[in-house]
Chains A and B, each alone.
Chain A
């Protein structure tokens, strides 16, 4: 069975704080792909990053960074110097090579106040 767990339901920070969103996944497949999506108040899902199971290199994109660790089945997302515009629901998702669809976690609601 495949599963994605985002244990943090809600996180509140003040602007300029760093924040890490946790994601733990379960799969028996050796080839799989991990994703992060952002859902702003408008509701549309915005793609942030894709990582395959053979690439454990961490990635940085501006204030965003991702830490993929197969040993702990985690794919955590860090926002550095958070801004109010970062307020949104963030979803971690998993898709195996043989799977039919993306499996989503329940999401983490991030609130950044000024």
Chain B
């Protein structure tokens, strides 16, 4: 069966520090991978998606970047965090066409102080 792992679960980082959040998927090949952010009291905003190794599309200009070094690994990074980067980050995967929904990881709650 397919599983998605996301870590860490919580993170407190000072302003200006770097960030690296990792997401891995097991039990499937060539998944579409996504990073979403949920700010406090707001909906889910798509940040990045990837349809293959090294292929990254950005939906919104950010202080963040994403990379996909392996088929089932998706990394969200920042060189210098801002206070506004605080939020709940969710990784998700999907396969096939639009009919199939997404499976989400358990999320990382990031607080920038």
Q: Do A and B bind each other?
A: yes
- A residues contacting B by CB (< 8 A) are 31-33, 35, 37, 42-45, 47, 50, 52, 91, 95-107
In the complex, chain A residues whose CB is within 8 Å of the CB of B105: 44
Query: Is A52 in contact with B49, judged by CB distance below 8 angstroms?
Result: no
Report how many A-B pairs have Cβ atoms within 8 Å.
Answer: 56
Query: Shortest distance in angstroms between B55's beta carbon and chain A's nearest beta carbon?
Result: 12
In the complex, chain A residues whose CB is within 8 Å of the CB of B99: 33, 50, 52
How far, in angstroms, from A33 to B102 measured CA to CA in the complex? 12
- B residues contacting A by CB (< 8 A) are 34, 36, 42-44, 46, 49, 57, 59, 88, 90, 92, 97-107, 109
Query: Shortest distance in angstroms between B60's beta carbon and chain A's nearest beta carbon?
Result: 12
Name A99's closest neighbour in chain B (CB-CB).
B98
Name B51's closest neighbour in chain A (CB-CB).
A100
Contact for B98 among A37, A47, A91, A95, CB less than 8 A: A95
In the complex, chain A residues whose CB is within 8 Å of the CB of B44: 91, 104, 107
Contact for B102 among A96, A98, A99, A102, CB less than 8 A: A102
8 nearest A-B pairs in the assembled complex, by CB-CB distance: A106-B43, A45-B104, A104-B44, A43-B107, A44-B106, A95-B98, A101-B46, A97-B98
Query: Is A102 in contact with B88, judged by CB distance below 8 angstroms?
Result: no
Query: Is A43 in contact with B88, judged by CB distance below 8 angstroms?
Result: yes
- 6 extra A-B contacts, CB within 8 A, seeds A50-B99, A95-B98: A33-B99, A100-B57, A102-B92, A104-B43, A104-B44, A106-B43
In the complex, chain B residues whose CB is within 8 Å of the CB of A47: 101-103
In the complex, chain B residues whose CB is within 8 Å of the CB of A96: 98
Query: Is B43 in contact with A107, judged by CB distance below 8 angstroms?
Result: yes
In the complex, chain B residues whose CB is within 8 Å of the CB of A98: 98
How far, in angstroms, from A45 to B36 measured CA to CA in the complex? 12
Query: Is B98 in contact with A32, judged by CB distance below 8 angstroms?
Result: yes
Query: Is B109 in contact with A102, judged by CB distance below 8 angstroms?
Result: no
